[in-house]
Structure 1
Amino acid sequence: MKALFLALAASAALVLPAQAEDVTVAVTAIVEHPSLDAVRDGVKDALAEAGYKEGEGLKFVYQSAQGNPATAAQIARQFVGDEPNVIVPISTPSAQAVVSATRDIPVVFTAVTDPLGAQLVKDMEKPGGNVTGLSDMSPVAAHVDLIKEIMPDVKTIGYLYNSGEANSVSLLEILKEAAEAAGITVVESAATKTAEVQGATRALIGRADAIYVPTDNTIISALESAISVAEEAGMPLFTADTDSVNRGSVAALGFNYYDVGKQTGEVVVRILKGENPGDISVNVAEGTDLVVNKQRAAKVGIELPESVLSRATKIIE
């Protein structure tokens, strides 16, 4: 009996190391900034909560493209060659690169504004194939309402974006429609790389009453450049990204991106447990936070109304 027990124990000891690196999840983002980093961390924590812990059944791989689409494509090809169980691209450019690189490995994209416009899936309810994910489509009409509530006399909004980012182009059309309904004109200014953000911001000075930055990875990566120009000109800058309020935006209504990551991780877990990604609908992330920065508002001559402060989930003094 003792010999049998020892034999079983030895057998188990041989099996466990083979399972230690049993599952590989490869994650990539177009660039590193607080929101996208929070998504990555949320994915990892959701996996851990489901029992997939790094070094204990999970190999978690992460690479950033550092803002370079060509690097994103290279990372996608490398990941496909490594054959992980699931690839999680964060942001539209990374998702497009990964989806183009594989028709076999399950892909769960996240922080993608317009999956249909970016041609990642053909149907949100039944994506089919090897791809599903989570959209972070911004509540743009609510953003316009918020700007108007804070600045009742606003007539023109400057839209600062990268014209090469599919999600930002989609959001521009939505913004124009929402702004027109509110009697507001939209003025565009594009920066195709971070080095151009400062100049693109300057191009809006004198042409707009306020600046609005969408969930655009290029602009968000160099947000301090935009904020310094806007602040020097006494122009309020609003963002769709709540993490940017800490960095100097006056206000933002948007997602908690750590929660977006956790929601994404839950989809990854479903696939690891056997579900087909093509059978999992693409949903819009849940939850919105209102974050305001009283100090930055004061610097550009704005007093935040009580109606905004009373419903803010976070106030930066």
Structure 2
Amino acid sequence: MRELGWSEGDNLAIEYRWAQGRSDRVSEFAAEFERRKVDVIVTYGAAVTILKQTITSIPIVFAVAFDPVRGGLVQSLAHPAGNITGVSIQQPDLVGKRLELLRQAIPQLHRLGILANAGYAEPMLEADRVKSMAQASGLEAARIGVWRTEDIAPAFESLMNKADALYVVSDALIAANRTLIVTLALSGRLPTIMSYDDYVKAGGLMSYGPDYPDLFRKAAEMVDKILRGTKPGDIPVEQPTKFEFAINAKTAAALGLTLPQTFLATVDEVLK
């Protein structure tokens, strides 16, 4: 925002609210934003759907959305309409690439577990896509949904001896519990693939997905346009142009995986 001419404390005030994956808190924040008549709201994940359902007068920019058209957030990518626009990561379109990377890293892969937030429609859409694509390629696939933090450990228990690897569908709930998830995965000797490198830094095996800082830069450009008078419904939804592939070499060693050099040559970031 500074690069776009905005300076916090001068011509811009930014306030932060953290819902920690709880929809009830998002609803509370929505009511507060309406009372205070803020100029624009920037958010991501499940909060986008909740805010869209409750706020019609304040512009909303989503910095991350799985599939905003299919998820009902916008009419189309080119013409969002209404009071909302943002950046789509088109997460379902990346499923095939992640499954390909898992197969390359784990040639003996036969059974895939899929972990997703059951309380949020868009991650479950991705989980369904993962399951159908995995089964079409000859894998057994089991989808496990969690509603809250307390459901995560039992979910892993249900996967014991039933999966050779785990596909983790990211959202706010899953991100808030990434350390727990990777700890349980390592304890169960489950290789994991996730959507961005924070999971890999926490101990996950691999991640493949958009460059998230770049997504938020795109969102900042949209905020700038809105603050200068453009209606959000007139700002096309953007899609990522940069993608990153990361591997945690220490985790690979702990799992007893020997990754081919040809495979490692495609990695953007190797964490040791």
Deviation at 1:51, TM superposition (A): 0.9
Q: Is the Cα contact below 8 Å between 2:114 and 2:131 reproduced in 1? A: no
Seq. identity, %: 28
Q: 2:105 aligns with which of 122, 143, 150?
A: 150
1:136 Cα deviation from its structure 2 partner? 1.9
Q: TM-score, normalised by structure 2?
A: 0.94
Aligned residue in 2 for 1:54: 8
Matched residue SS, 2:17: strand
The 8 Å contact of residues 194 and 222 in structure 1, kept in 2 or not, is answered as yes
CA–CA distance in structure 2, aligned partners of residues 199 and 97 of structure 1 = 28
Could you tell me the TM-score, scaled by structure 1's length?
Answer: 0.81
Matched AA of 2:252? A
Give yes or no for the alignment of 1:118 onto 2:101: no
What letter is aligned with 2:12? Answer: L
The match for 1:107 among 60, 84, 98 is 60
Q: 1:216, 1:178 → 2: CA distance?
A: 21
Q: CA deviation at 1:117?
A: 3.4
Q: Which residue of 2 aligns with 1:251?
A: 206
Structure 1 stretch 77-86 or stretch 291-300: which is displaced more?
77-86
Give CA deviations for 1:103-122 in whole Å, capped at 9, x if unaligned: 22211112110212332112
Picking from 132, 140, 156, the partner of 2:85 is 132
C-alpha displacement at 1:229, in angstroms? 2.3
CA gap 1:102/1:216 in 2 versus in 1, 3 angstroms: closer
Equivalent in the alignment of 1:222: 177
Which stretch of the first structure deviates more once superposed, 214-223 or 161-170? 214-223
Give the deviation of 1:281 after TM superposition: 1.4
Partners of 1:268 and 1:116 lie apart in 2 by: 20
3-state SS of paired residue (1:226): helix
| Displacement after TM superposition at 1:171 (Å) | 0.4
Query: Offset of 1:216 from its aligned partner?
Result: 2.6
Name the SS for the 2:14 alignment partner. Answer: strand
> 2:166 aligns to what SS in structure 1?
strand
Alpha-carbon distance, 1:84 to partner: 1.6
In the alignment, structure 1 residue 171 sits paired with structure 2 residue 126:
yes
Q: Supply the distance in 1 between the matched residues of 2:183 and 2:55 (Cα, whole angstroms).
A: 42
Q: Which amino acid aligns with 1:64?
A: W
- Tell me the distance in 1 between the aligned counterparts of 2:261 and 2:22: 42
Q: Is the 8 A contact 1:116 1:124 kept in 2?
A: yes
- Asked if 1:195 is matched to 2:150, the reply is yes
Q: Give the length in aligned residue pairs.
A: 270
- Do the aligned residues in 1 keep the contact of 2:115 with 2:127 (CA within 8 Å)? no
Q: 1:277 aligns to what? A: 232
Q: Deviations over 1:143-168 (max 9, x none)?
A: 00000010112111100111111221
Q: 1:64 aligns with which of 1, 13, 18?
A: 18
Segments of structure 2 that go 5 or more residues without pairing to the other structure are none
Amino acid at match of 1:237: T
Partner residue in 2 for 1:76: 30
Question: SS of the residue aligned with 1:161?
Answer: strand
**Partners of 1:117 and 1:73 in 2: CA distance:** 23
AA at the equivalent of 2:40: V
Q: What CA distance in whole angstroms lies between the structure 1 residues aligned with 2:195 and 2:133?
A: 15
**Which amino acid is 1:98 matched to?**
L
Contact residue 130 and residue 277 of structure 1 kept, 8 A: yes
Q: Secondary structure at the match of 1:267?
A: helix
Rounded to whole Å, the distance in 2 between the matches of 1:90 and 1:214 is 15
Equivalent in the alignment of 2:48 = 95
**Per-residue CA shift, 1:259-316, capped at 9, x if unaligned?**
2111111111111222221111112222110100111011111112212211211101
Cα distance in 2 between the residues matched to 1:187 and 1:276: 43
* AA matched with 2:164: D
Unaligned runs of 5+ in 1: 1-46
Instruction: Give the structure 2 partner of residue 311 of structure 1.
Output: 266
| 2:201 partner letter | N
Q: Is the 8 A contact 1:89 1:98 kept in 2?
A: no
Q: Distance in 1 between matches of 2:245 and 2:216?
A: 19
Q: Could you list the per-position Cα deviations for residues 3-33 of structure 1 after superposition, in whole angstroms to 9, with x for gaps in the alignment?
A: xxxxxxxxxxxxxxxxxxxxxxxxxxxxxxx
CA–CA separation in structure 1 for the residues paired with 2:85 and 2:138: 37
Letter paired with 1:59: A
